[in-house]
Amino acid sequence: MTFFSDTRYLFVRSIRKLVRTPILLFFSLLQPIIFLLLFTQLFARFTAAPGLFPAGITYLSYATPGILLQNAFSSALQSGTSIVDDLNSGFLQKMLVTPVNRSAILLGRLTSDAFRVTAQSLIILVLAYGLGFSVDTGLPGILAMLGIIAFFGLAWSGISLAIGLRTKSAETVFGIGGFLTFPLLFMSTSLVPTDAMPEWIKAVSSVNPISFAVNAVRDLSLPNYFSAGSILTAVGVIGLIAIVTLGATLYLFRKVVS
């Protein structure tokens, strides 16, 4: 019971810290909300281009899954700043002299990151519904979308945590996160279909992990696009990323603990 109770305590601590500083939630949501409110209106007529977008699909319906994954990706890459704060403030060192379960320290952080991404995704979905977005598969589809997004954020947060544990620098975490976010986002199917891409970007998009996740979420939302194969492929790709990133995080965390 110590492991689960310690994980719960550290999870609640992270959530309380977020609630007490809502400005962090606001600024992390600012970019995807701008994408949702401006990009979907600015590029609304792009779907009229023959042969590029699925027939009868609005740009809002096409781009919203990409914006959801963009938020999860950018939020996950910022999660390492929290572990840097705990290291620099001495909180982590104080935790290590208590009988708290060592694995619970890391798991509490990861579960709070996944919860934060899910909460942000719900806010974006509510705004998108207000603009006319809908999920064709209904409530089960929304739950499946949120599950994929949370799993995606959990996997990528491992990179941020590993960088934070390795460098102990919030500036480095932000810098690398910003460096990765936009190239991977725009070289994926988040905002445009592959037929609208130059050949070299199309080649990158075909192996871009964001594309796999976006396609699965989009297949759950667009009418007549549900595909169990794309969902299983996305879960498999995200699972491989999680093994690598969380494995690196666990290795570096054990070095810090020791």
> What is the DSSP annotation of 120-147?
HHHHHHHHHHHHT---TTHHHHHHHHHH
61 vs 54: which has the higher pLDDT:
61
How many CB atoms within 10 Å of residue 96?
13
Q: What is the pLDDT, as a whole number, of residue 24? A: 65
How many CB atoms within 10 Å of residue 161?
29
Q: Which residues of 202-219 are buried (b: 16+ CB within 10 A; e: fewer)?
A: eebbeebbbbbbbbbbbb
Tokens for 224, please give them: 């007549």
Tokens for 67, please give them: 């914006």
- pLDDT, tens only, 203-231: 999 999 999 999 999 999 988 778 788 89
Q: What is the pLDDT, as a whole number, of residue 15? A: 81
Domain ranges of the chain: 2-257
Among 171, 148, 191, 183, CA closest to 78: 171
DSSP label at 239? H
Dihedral of the alpha carbons of 99, 100, 103, 108, in degrees to the nearest 10? 180
Percent of the chain surpassing pLDDT 90:
27
How much is the average pLDDT of 161-168? 85
Q: What is the pLDDT, as a whole number, of residue 243? A: 92
Of 10-19, 108-117, 128-137, 196-205, which range is least confident?
10-19
Rounded to whole angstroms, the Cα distance separating 72 from 16 reads: 20
Q: What is the pLDDT, as a whole number, of residue 68? A: 93
Q: What is the pLDDT, as a whole number, of residue 52? A: 79
Q: Provide the pLDDT confidence category of residue 183 given band limits of 50, 70 and 90.
A: confident
Global pTM reads 0.88
Q: Quick check: 138 and 37 in contact, CB under 8 A?
A: no
Q: Has residue 55 got a pLDDT over 80?
A: no
Rounded to whole angstroms, the Cα distance separating 211 from 72 reads: 13
- pLDDT, tens only, 39-50: 888 888 888 877
How much is the average pLDDT of 75-82? 77
The amino acid present at 126, given as its one-letter code, is V
